[in-house]
Amino acid sequence: MKKRLDMHKIAKALGAERRGKVISTGGYFGAMQVLADAEARFRVPAGGGRPTDPAWTERRLVPLAPRTLKKLEEISAKVREHGMNVEPMQLAALLIEKTTEQLSEDQAEDLVRPRRRASR
Amino acid sequence: MAKTRARKPRRVLSGGRKRVLVVLFVPSVQRDGATPVDQSRWVDSSLEMFGRVFGGATAYPKAKGIWRDDEQDGALVKDEPVVVHCYTTPRDIQDDRNLAELGSFCKRMGREAQQGEVGLVIGDEYFAIRDFGEE
């Protein structure tokens, strides 16, 4: 699993204050971060075709709500404005990987821990 | 039958993937909002620094910006910053020497261009540098 950046170390070394996260899935910086990810990963396959991440060897069907697909289309359109041709479902794959990598063990445990139900 | 081996994806460049975006805002005016700074000099210097330390950067055309100076009763400082983008690797952005160079540049720009704050976005976080004391 990829390690997260040590933001505390970065802030200390720069003599900077951490002012909080920028939204990583929407807006200008979200689109630019996706662009950085896509540019770093995507390669044109040897046999030609759309650039993709060579490590994506598995294929699954992912159910989506229409509003989620719409949002993916909007963000990928923003990324395309910056010259990187990324498709909505390629963007979905990038975001799934990013979130999975950033999820700590504790957070993952919270997701699967049975929730207490209010009982009277 | 000939044996086939699963091909591993080839690394095009060494040193890992440049998946971290660093964004620096180069101001056009001093903290007073009126005195112009030598923006093109700072843009050129920042590109040289990013090129030397991280391998490259891109400066975009002027944008429109605003900053609230809380130490001056919330005065709004309007400027036209140039946004500089640099893609780098997690290893390079966490390297002590690289961070020292980046920090030193931001402090020098803050000090000499009379800024209240120098803003940097690294990955998914915003960093504010406000103490420009000599290192």
Are A93 and A50 a contacting pair, CB within 8 Å?
no
Question: By a Cβ cutoff of 8 Å, what residues of chain A touch chain B?
Answer: 2-3, 5-7, 9-11, 13-22, 24, 29, 32-33, 36-37, 39-41, 43, 54-55
Exposed/middle/buried for A110, CB within 10 Å: 0-12, 13-18, 19+? exposed
- Encode pLDDT of A75-105 as tens digits: 888 778 777 788 889 888 888 877 776 666 6
- Please give the Cα distance from B105 to B20 (Å, whole number): 19
Inside any domain, residue B10:
no
Number of domains into which chain B is organized: 1
* Number of neighbouring beta carbons within 10 Å of residue A59: 7
Model confidence at B41, pLDDT cuts 50, 70, 90, reads very high
> Which of the residues A14, A24, A41, A97 would you substitute to probe the B interface, choosing the one with the greatest number of B C-beta atoms within 10 Å?
A14
Q: What CATH number did the domain enclosing B120 receive?
A: 3.30.70
- Subunit contact B17:A18, Cβ cutoff 8 A: no
Instruction: Look up the ipTM and state it.
Output: 0.78
Task: Name the closest residue on chain B to residue A10, using Cα atoms.
Answer: B94
- Subunit contact A22:B125, Cβ cutoff 8 A: yes
Which residues of chain A make contact with B90, given a CB cutoff of 8 A?
2-3, 5
Are B92 and B86 a contacting pair, CB within 8 Å?
no
Instruction: Kindly list the domain boundaries of chain A, sorted by start residue.
Output: 23-101
The pTM assigned to this predicted structure is 0.61
Extract the tokens encoding A103: 């999820």
Inside any domain, residue B3:
no
Q: What is the largest CA-CA distance in chain A?
A: 64
Per DSSP, the residues of B31-59 read: TTSSSB--HHHHHHHHHHHHHHHHS--EE
Model confidence at B11, pLDDT cuts 50, 70, 90, reads very low
Query: What is the domain extent for residue B59?
Result: 20-129
Inside any domain, residue B8:
no
Are B21 and B85 a contacting pair, CB within 8 Å?
yes
**Mean pLDDT of all residues in A53-61:** 85
- Subunit contact B126:A20, Cβ cutoff 8 A: yes
Give Cβ neighbours of residue B87 (< 8 Å, ≥ 6 apart).
A36, A39, A40, B18, B19, B20, B21, B22, B54, B56
Percent of chain B with pLDDT over 70: 87
Extract the tokens encoding A57: 């060897």
